[in-house]
Amino acid sequence: MEDTYDVVVVGAGPGGEVVADRTVRAGLTAVVVEAEAVGGECSYRACVPSKALLRPGAAREAARSVDGARQAVTGALDPARTLARRDRFTARGDDTGQADWLTGSGIPLVRGHGRLAGARRVDVTGADGTVRTLRARRAVVLSPGTEPALPQIEGIDRVGVWTNRQATTADAVPERLVVIGGGVVACELATAWRSLGSAVTLLVRGRTLLADWEPCAGEEVARGLTDLGVTLRFGVSADRVARDEATRAVRVETDDGSTLVCDEVLAAVGRRPRTHDLGLDTVGRTAGDWLPVDDTCRVAGLDGDWLYGVGDVNHRAPLTHMAKYQARACAAAIVERAAGRPADPGDWGAWSARADRVAVPQAVFTRPEVASVGLTERAARAAGGAIRAVEYRIDDVAGAALHADAYRGRAKLVVDETRGVVVGCTLTGPMATELIHAATVAIVGEVPLERLRHAVPAFPTVSEVWLRLLEAYGL
Name the pLDDT band for 385 (thresholds 50, 70, 90).
confident
Q: How far apart are CA 304 and CA 306, in angstroms?
A: 6
Among 426, 444, 447, 437, which residue's Cα sits nearest to residue 355? Answer: 444
The residue count for the chain: 475
Q: How confident is the model at residue 115 (pLDDT cuts 50, 70, 90)?
A: very high
Specify binding-site residues for NAD(+). 181-188, 270
Cis-peptide, bond into residue 430, ω within 30° of zero? no
pLDDT of res. 326: 96
CA distance 452 to 456: 8
Q: Name residues whose C-beta falls within 8 Å of residue 465's C-beta, 6 or more positions apart in sequence.
A: 392, 394, 397, 400, 409, 411, 427, 435, 457
pLDDT digits (tens, 9 = 90+) for 254-272: 999 999 999 999 999 999 9
* Cα–Cα distance measured from residue 300 to residue 91, given in angstroms and rounded to the nearest whole number: 38
**Per-residue pLDDT reduced to its tens digit, 41-79:** 999 999 999 999 999 999 999 999 999 999 999 999 999
> Quick check: 158 and 243 in contact, CB under 8 A?
yes
CA-angle at 225, arms to 221 and 226, nearest 5°: 115
Decide if pLDDT at 342 tops 80.
Answer: no
| Gap between the Cα atoms of 155 and 92, Å rounded | 30
The reported pLDDT for the residue numbered 346 is 61
Could you list the beta-strand ranges (E) of 54-198: 109-111, 113-116, 121-125, 131-142, 146-148, 176-180
Asked whether the predicted pLDDT for residue 350 surpasses 80, the reply is: no
Residue 303 pLDDT > 90, yes or no? Answer: no
- Per the annotation, where are the binding residues? 51, 114, 181-188, 270, 312
The DSSP-derived string for 338-402 is: HTT----TTSSSTT--THHHH---EEE-SSS-EEEEE--HHHHHHT-S-EEEEEEEGGGSHHHHH
Binding residues for FAD, as ranges, are 51, 114, 312
Residue 460 preceded by cis peptide, ω within 30 = yes
Q: What is the mean pLDDT of residues 348-352?
A: 68
Domains by residue range for the chain, with CATH:
2-39+95-147+272-356 (3.50.50.60), 164-269 (3.50.50.60), 368-473 (3.30.390.30)
Over residues 416-425, the mean pLDDT reads 97
Q: What integer pLDDT is reported at residue 353 of this predicted model?
A: 85
pLDDT band at 349 (very low <50, low <70, confident <90, very high): low
Using the predicted structure, report yes or no on whether residue 118 has a pLDDT greater than 90: yes
Q: What is the pLDDT of residue 2?
A: 65
Torsion of the alpha carbons at 33, 35, 37 and 40, rounded to the nearest 10? -70
The mean pLDDT of the chain is 95
Strand order in the sheet with 231-234: 231-234, 199-204, 176-180, 264-267
Q: Residue 343: is its pLDDT beyond 70?
A: no
pLDDT in the model for residue 452: 96
